[in-house]
Amino acid sequence: MTPVVIQGRLQQLWQALRGAPLAPLIFITIFVLSALLADFITPYPPEKMSLSARLVPPFFVAGGSWNHILGTDTLGRDLLSRMIVGGRVSLLVSLLAILLGGGIGTGIGLVAGYFGGRIDAFLMRVTDAALAFPMILIALLLNVSLGAGFATVTIAIALIIWARYARVIRGEVLSIRERDFIAQARIIGCSSARIILTHLLPNVTNTLLVLLTLQVGLVILVEASLSFLGAGIPPPTPSWGSLVADGKDYFNSAWWISLFPGLAIVLTVLSFNILGDWIRDKLDPNLRQL
């Protein structure tokens, strides 16, 4: 992709963000900064236990303390610290899974859409098969087969989301490949790889950007679901899903253990979805019906 094309895409993105909803942008900014600076802003080590301070309620509830703003869990661990570190885990899983799954899906979509014929038919049947399997079931099977861990969760989610990229990008390429500049590239002897990388890929960048933004919320939700089911990031590393699971048996007496991580998941997913919808409407109105 040439510098001129990159500059044009960045200008389009900036114009879209200038009018984006303020509240989601603020929340996403806080989420990203807190994840990046987790080691410096957590008031306590996330794994530090203090049985004398177990089940301390939030500061605004009777019996609460400013020492633990959002309260503590059943082992006396500071909930705010664990939520901040859990947010970093969710952000890292999302970025890596989206890069891996998005890269695989985009490559398959470009190849299938450009070559067509039997290659397209075969790749799309594989894509349809991947879309037919329940997401959580695939992730659970991979987790059982490979063992729990950060890498397993990332790979599992990447294998879940790649088909969505392949399907949408292939549809874009089917229309782009019939345009005059593609025919001219073939006439002057450009190879298929060159046409795909220098002509097709830059023209699906807007679509890809919208997909990337919309998939962040989905990935965070899937990771939280896996952690809640005990098939995500293994302890003692905290994640939002495991924090919700930690408090499910204490909701009547210690509701804050599950409530605050649950609210963090809801607000993060909602913010990314709203931002993705906004960018979609600004950069690629053709995607509104997808």
Give the domain ranges of the chain: 3-289
Q: For 77-86, 191-200, 233-242, 276-285, which range has the lowest pLDDT when averaged over its residues?
A: 276-285
Label residue 287 by pLDDT band (50, 70, 90).
very low
pLDDT per residue as tens digits for the range 4-29:
555 666 666 566 555 567 778 888 88
Query: What was the pLDDT predicted at 284?
Result: 56
Give residue 289's pLDDT. 47
Query: Residue 108: its pLDDT value, please?
Result: 92
pLDDT in tens, 259-276: 898 898 888 888 888 887
Across 23-46, average pLDDT = 86
What residues contact residue 13 under an 8 Å CB cut-off, 6+ apart? 209, 279, 283
3-289 belongs to CATH 3.40.50.280: no
Is the model's pTM score more than 0.75?
yes
pLDDT at 80 over 60: yes
pLDDT for the residue 2:
54
Per-residue pLDDT tens over the stretch 120-130: 889 988 888 88
- Give the per-residue pLDDT at 154: 85
Q: Give the whole-angstrom CA distance, residue 172 versus residue 286.
A: 10
pLDDT at 6: 56
CA distance 160 to 40: 34
Q: What percent of the chain has pLDDT over 70?
A: 90
Question: Is the sign of the CA dihedral 221, 38, 45, 56 positive or negative?
Answer: negative
Q: What is the DSSP string of 226-280?
A: HHHTT-SSPTTS--HHHHHHHTGGGTTT-THHHHHHHHHHHHHHHHHHHHHHHHH
Mean pLDDT to the nearest integer, 134-160: 77
Report which residue type is found at 92: L
pLDDT at 290: 44
Mean pLDDT of the chain: 81
Whole-number Cα distances in Å, 8 to 17, 184, 284: 14, 23, 14
* pLDDT for 232 beyond 80: no
> Is residue 56 a contact partner of residue 74, using CB atoms and an 8 Å limit?
no
Longest dimension (CA), the chain: 77
Residue that wins the pLDDT comparison between 109 and 186: 109
C-alpha dist (Å) from residue 34 to 22, 59, 88, 275: 18, 21, 8, 19
